Structure formats: C-alpha cells, structure tokens
C-alpha cells in the first residue's frame, strides 16, 4: 500500500482485497486509460484507487466447445489473441484488435471497456452483445451473473458494491463480424458500430454501439430478417426500414449522422459474414 499526500493507491493481489478496498471507497482501476484522463473531461481524479492488475484470476481465459470465459483484466490485445481462430468469435476479435490504437489496446481492459458508463463508443460492448454474453460480478455477498444488456443499462448501480470479474460467452454463433466507422483516422472513436453474429439456425444477433448512449441489440431488425438468408443489400434496406435509434450528438458526429450510416454498416458486416468460408 502506497500513501502520497494526494492519492491513496491499493495494489490488490486478491479479489477479496479489491472488494474490501472498494467498500472503503476506492475506485477500481483496470488499464487506467479512461480514469487517468478524468481531468481532461473536467472530472476530478479519484482520491483513492484499487489496482486489479495483480489478481491472476482476472486474466484467465477458458475455452470449451460450448463456452468461452474471459477475465475482465485482459487487455483488448489479449482478448484478440486468445480468441483468434475460434469459429463464431471473429467479430469479437475484430472489435478487440481494431479499437483505439496499439498502445491503448495493450493497456485498456475488457472490464474497463464494459464498466465505463459514460463511454458510448466501446467496441467490445456491441461485439459481446451480439454473442449473447453474460457478465460475472464479485461482491462481498458473493458472485452474481447477469446478461450483458441488463448490466450495461445500469452500470453504476451494479458496480456500487461489485467488481466486474468475467465475461461468459455461449458459443452459439457460427460466424460473426464487427463493422465500425471512425471518421478521420485510426485511433478515433467510432461514430457508429454494428456487430452481427449468425447462429447455426441462421438467426442473427445484431448489436449497435456508439449511436445511443448505451449499446443495445437491434431486435426490430433481427425480427425482420428472421432465419432466412439475407443479402448485404437487402440487409441494408431492411435496416433503413426498421430504424429505431435516436442518435446522440457528440464531438465527433451529430446524432442524425450516426443513425444515417447504420444501414451501410449493416451491409458491411453482412459482406464480412458472406466472405467467411
């Protein structure tokens, strides 16, 4: 434990230690890539933080034929390298290896990407929603598990007494793709993201990120497509016909633009699915 006049930092080496620090008022730090820029956003840095990077359980990966479990402390780069080559998870690999820039991808964690409530452009959120992911939280009362979509809509409440420890993916998808639109150059936040996963029965899970404040499934489009094969052009046409997003205005783009590009991103993601063997 290191004390400075300004900050109190706890280097937790167990989940119990991290949960204790959280209960004493510390903020949980993953890769620090969001937290350490707090002052640039006009927010104060936390007075007390607990670091998770010495907890081995948080960087574990488990892969079976029916499921994948990812520790929340894995970096984007580690997620990409753990899942590369696994059928059905191509969209998650594309999200983890295409977000931000190489330096950020080696520091920012899976847990931090999903836990940051005021960051709408997280790449991993729609990619994991398309997989039907669940999150596991650790709290003093024991672990709890809930669907990722339920977690995303109410993160501050779920994390008030808990740490995000794992993400569980059922291996239902036979193929998946992730299409993102950064405006100017690599490293920009994407203005809109579409992730699509196809299951063995041909139904699709489609998720959208960065358009609204919280990533979510596009269930109206999923229902319109159903289980029939859909060409990329038809998918784009159905996307325009079943648009039910209200775009958020932000520094990179206005809300109407984020919504307008969605059919093209649906087409791009379906093109990527078609290109898979």
Ligand X SMILES: Cc1cc2nc3c(=O)[nH]c(=O)nc-3n(C[C@H](O)[C@H](O)[C@H](O)COP(=O)(O)OP(=O)(O)OC[C@H]3O[C@@H](n4cnc5c(N)ncnc54)[C@H](O)[C@@H]3O)c2cc1C
Residues that bind ligand X in the complex, under the rule CB under 6 A: 27-35, 52, 72, 99-100, 104, 108-109, 111-113, 115-116, 119, 121-124, 159, 163-164, 187, 189-190
The CA distances from residue 223 to 46, 147, 205, 271, in Å, are 44, 20, 10, 20
Residue ranges of alpha helices (H) inside 116-178 are 124-129, 148-153, 155-158
SS3 87: coil
Q: Which residue has the tokens 């794992």?
A: 166
Residues 6+ apart with CB under 8 A from 204: 196, 197, 198, 222, 225
* Residue 225 C-beta: closest distance to ligand X, Å: 26
Q: Which is nearer to ligand X, 29 or 197 (CB)?
A: 29
* Residue 168 C-beta: closest distance to ligand X, Å: 15
Q: Which is nearer to ligand X, 23 or 227 (CB)?
A: 23
* Residue 38 C-beta: closest distance to ligand X, Å: 9
C-beta nearest to ligand X: residue: 112
In this structure, are residues 192 and 208 in contact, taking their beta carbons and an 8 Å threshold? yes
Nearest alpha-carbon partner for 72 in 196, 159, 173: 159
Q: Which is nearer to ligand X, 114 or 236 (CB)?
A: 114
From CA 207, how far away is CA 120, in angstroms rounded?
Answer: 13
Q: Which is nearer to ligand X, 12 or 164 (CB)?
A: 164
Q: Which is nearer to ligand X, 14 or 87 (CB)?
A: 14
Q: DSSP readout, 173-204?
A: EEEEEEEEEESSSTTSPEEEEEEEEEETTS-E
Identify any residues that bridge with 176 across adjacent strands, giving them in sequence order: 197
* Residue 249 C-beta: closest distance to ligand X, Å: 18
* Residue 260 C-beta: closest distance to ligand X, Å: 20
Nearest alpha-carbon partner for 58 in 5, 12, 92, 125: 12
Q: Which is nearer to ligand X, 10 or 236 (CB)?
A: 10
* Residue 72 C-beta: closest distance to ligand X, Å: 4
């Amino acid at each position: 434990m290191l004390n400075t006049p300004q900050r109190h930092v706890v280097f937790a080496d167990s989940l119990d230690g991290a949960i204790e620090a959280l209960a004493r008022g510390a903020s949980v730090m993953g890769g620090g890539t969001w937290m350490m820029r707090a002052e640039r956003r006009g927010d104060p840095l936390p007075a007390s933080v607990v670091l998770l990077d010495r907890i081995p359980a948080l960087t574990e990966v488990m892969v079976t034929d029916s499921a994948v479990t990812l520790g929340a402390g894995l970096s984007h780069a580690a997620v990409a390298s753990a899942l590369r080559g696994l059928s059905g998870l191509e969209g998650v690999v594309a999200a983890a290896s295409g977000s931000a820039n190489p330096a950020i991808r080696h520091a920012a964690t899976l847990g931090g990407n999903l836990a940051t409530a005021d960051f709408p452009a997280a790449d991993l959120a729609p990619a994991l929603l398309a997989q039907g992911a669940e999150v596991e939280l650790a709290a003093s009362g024991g672990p709890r598990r809930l669907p990722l979509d339920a977690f995303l809509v109410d993160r501050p409440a779920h994390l008030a007494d808990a740490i995000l420890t794992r993400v569980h993916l059922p291996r239902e998808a036979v193929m998946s793709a992730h299409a993102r639109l950064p405006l100017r150059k690599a490293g920009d936040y994407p203005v809109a993201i579409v992730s699509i996963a196809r299951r063995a029965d041909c139904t699709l899970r489609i998720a959208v990120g960065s358009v609204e404040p919280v990533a979510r499934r596009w269930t109206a489009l999923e229902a319109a497509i159903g289980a029939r094969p859909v060409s990329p052009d038809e998918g784009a046409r159905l996307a325009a016909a079943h648009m039910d997003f209200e775009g958020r205005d932000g520094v990179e783009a206005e809300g109407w633009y984020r919504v307008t590009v969605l059919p093209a991103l649906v087409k791009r993601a379906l093109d990527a699915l078609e290109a898979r063997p």
